[in-house]
A and B are shown apart, each in its own frame.
Chain A
Amino acid sequence: SAVISQKPSRDICQRGTSLTIQCQVDSQVTMMFWYRQQPGQSLTLIATANQGSEATYESGFVIDKFPISRPNLTFSTLTVSNMSPEDSSIYLCSAGGMNTEAFFGQGTRLTVV
């Protein structure tokens, strides 16, 4: 199993600013992902964080808004840029998958005011 640590666990941010969320896995993993869970909604995949190359974004998400870094096999960051109240969500980091269990961080609860 893998343990995923995310920080911050929550934050309240001013509109127009940016927040970087960190995700640390306690073991090397091939795949890492970032999800968004809007209030009362299910999880939506933002992007796949690729080690050593640019992230792969899902439809509706762009690099300028959600830049992602993956410098090694245990760490990734997601930045939410130029925030607006619509960005208020829970952002979750995930590792693993592909016929095996995907592990999730506790999430970062973001409120934009």
Chain B
Amino acid sequence: AQSVTQLDSHVSVSEGTPVLLRCNYSSSYSPSLFWYVQHPNKGLQLLLKYTSAATLVKGINGFEAEFKKSETSFHLTKPSAHMSDAAEYFCVVSGRNDYKLSFGAGTTVTVRA
């Protein structure tokens, strides 16, 4: 079985400063990993995905994540936070032979002006 652990339940940053959201995964095989964002009262939006290609994955809105197998990590970063980045972020892993997704507990990002 696969699972993800998001190490921070809440991250607060100042506008214009870097954002780091940490995610560790557990899987007995090479996983597919995703980051999704959920803005208040909105649906889930895919930020980026890793599917065994390049280990550094670039996503939308300036986000990127690096897959590190040795550390079983898939941390999400953004060089400069914007007010519109305030949202809930989910690290997600998918099964090997099925389409089921396992979600992390989520990280709430707040951005201070």
- Residues facing B in A26-69 (CB within 8 A) are 30-31, 33, 41-45, 48
A102 to B93, CA, bound (A): 11
Cβ contact within 8 Å between A96 and B43:
no
A41 to B101, CA, bound (A): 15
Q: Is A94 interfacial (CB 8 A cutoff)?
A: yes
Query: How many B residues, CB 8 Å from partner?
Result: 20
A109 to chain B, nearest CB (A): 8
9 contacts between A and B (CB under 8 A): A33-B99, A42-B90, A45-B100, A48-B98, A48-B100, A96-B99, A98-B32, A98-B94, A105-B43
Q: Contact residues of B with A, CB < 8 Å?
A: 32, 34, 42-44, 46, 49, 51, 90, 94-95, 98-106
Q: Contact residues of A with B, CB < 8 Å?
A: 30-31, 33, 41-45, 48, 92, 94, 96-102, 104-107
